[in-house]
Structure 1
Amino acid sequence: MGAGRLVGRVIGAAVAAVLLMTGATALAIWWTARQDSRPGSDAIVVLGSAQYNGVPSSIFEARLEHALELYEEGVAPVIVTVGGKATGDQFSEAEAGREYLADAGVPDDALLAVQEGADTLESMRAVGTQFDDRGWDTAVLVTDPWHAMRAERMAEDAGMDARSSPTRQGPAVQTRTTQFRYILRETAAYLLYRVTGESVAGAPGIG
């Protein structure tokens, strides 16, 4: 076999392996998005998204409403809202989420705002620290369906025993085109994290 043919086969095998891994990751993201785990846990953790002067965006509101449903079902005694503050903002995502849930009737002692994190990885590490400080272990994560697998992985890497209960409402699940786009973006973000250990900034639920 000539050297050229050998190199060609090696390159072909490498391309096939990358395509296989990418396809398997996309399928796993799709599968995880369809699950809904609601085990009794120490806390419900709501991943932040955009807020406007303290008012949650439609994506964030869908997550908060789902977390409220889980809390009322008795899944956990505490809801943790997560997310930092963008330059120029008066409110952090965590603050906006906390106030939304307080207005919905959740008691103050059942709410914890973790106002750190410009992306999912930073937020999960900050939440992991709070869990350690309080002796908590288990969490149910609330985010968009396509974001659930990466959020679970990052939470587990931050020391939490995490499951996810994704939202079924909001812009991220409105159309098949939107769903397909989010799955593609999440596949790239998840693979990047697994390879580099870093997150990536992007659209709501992607960073």
Structure 2
Amino acid sequence: MSLLTFVLLFIFALYIYHYGQTDRAAPADVIIVLGAGTRPSGAPSPSHKRRIEHAAALYQKGIAPYVLCTGGVTANHPNSEAEACVQTLQGMGVPASAILREDNSRSTEENALEAQKVMLTHNLQTAVLVSDNYHLWRAEMLFRVRGITVYPSPAQVTTGTLYWRTAVQNTFRELVATGWYFFKSLLGLPVTDL
């Protein structure tokens, strides 16, 4: 890999990281919570719980009348990510009538596809997209490719030594995932769970 390629990837990684630091939440039709795994007990993972808590806070502020929980079943876990989200939101006082769900997706790209179906069914046009900060650039891109107007809102903006190590790892993962998306799009490959 040439030095120029490395520098360009580094700049792109910084852009992805910094993009997710700004909360762009605005009044919308729905708040979409992107799944982030469940524990073997069926409870949301720590990252998923942060996203759910952030979505509940946005709902309580009146940003949108609905919250859409996304995510299918992960390996060897009893509940889908969406089910864990629904249960947690209800435990936080969000009424069942305000919660929508899709249980089929296994990737961010599938989140966008399946969320679009739910939004069309309920005549919803705009969404606040909730995820971790490092994930928002790619997630927003995938939702916009589907024609969904989204306002990204990070569930986690923090600092610290451990945070920086995780942030570097996750931002690198986003570089790889973005590269994979563009590569498979050029080849005309279908939506995947990778």
- Same fold (TM > 0.5): yes
Find out whether 1:196 has 2:184 as its counterpart.
yes
Question: How big is the alpha-carbon RMSD for the aligned residues of Structure 1 and Structure 2?
Answer: 2.5
Q: Which range moves more in the overlay, 120-129 or 18-27?
A: 18-27
Equivalent pairs counted in the alignment come to 189
Q: What does residue 37 of structure 1 align with?
A: 24
Is 1:162 the equivalent of 2:157? no
CA-to-aligned-CA distance 1:13-42 (integer Å, 9 cap, x gap)? xx4664454234212202211110111001
For residues 157 and 31 of structure 2, the distance between their equivalents in structure 1, rounded to whole angstroms, comes to 18
- Residue of structure 2 aligned with 1:146, choices 134, 142, 145: 134
* TM-score with structure 1 setting the length: 0.82
CA contact (8 A) 2:28 2:63 kept: yes
Mind listing any 5+ residue stretches in structure 1 that lack a counterpart? 1-11, 202-206
1:71 equivalent in alignment to 2:59: yes
Q: How far does residue 185 in structure 1 lie from its aligned partner after superposition?
A: 1.5
Could you say what secondary structure the match of 1:80 adopts? Answer: strand
Contact 2:35 2:71 in 1 (8 A): yes
Match of 1:104 in 2: 92
**Normalised TM-score (structure 2):** 0.87
Structure 2 alignment gaps of length 5 or more: none
Structure 1 Cα separation of the partners of residues 20 and 141 of structure 2: 13
Q: How many percent of aligned residue pairs carry the same amino acid?
A: 29
- Indicate if the aligned counterparts of 2:38 and 2:74 stay in contact, CA closer than 8 A: no
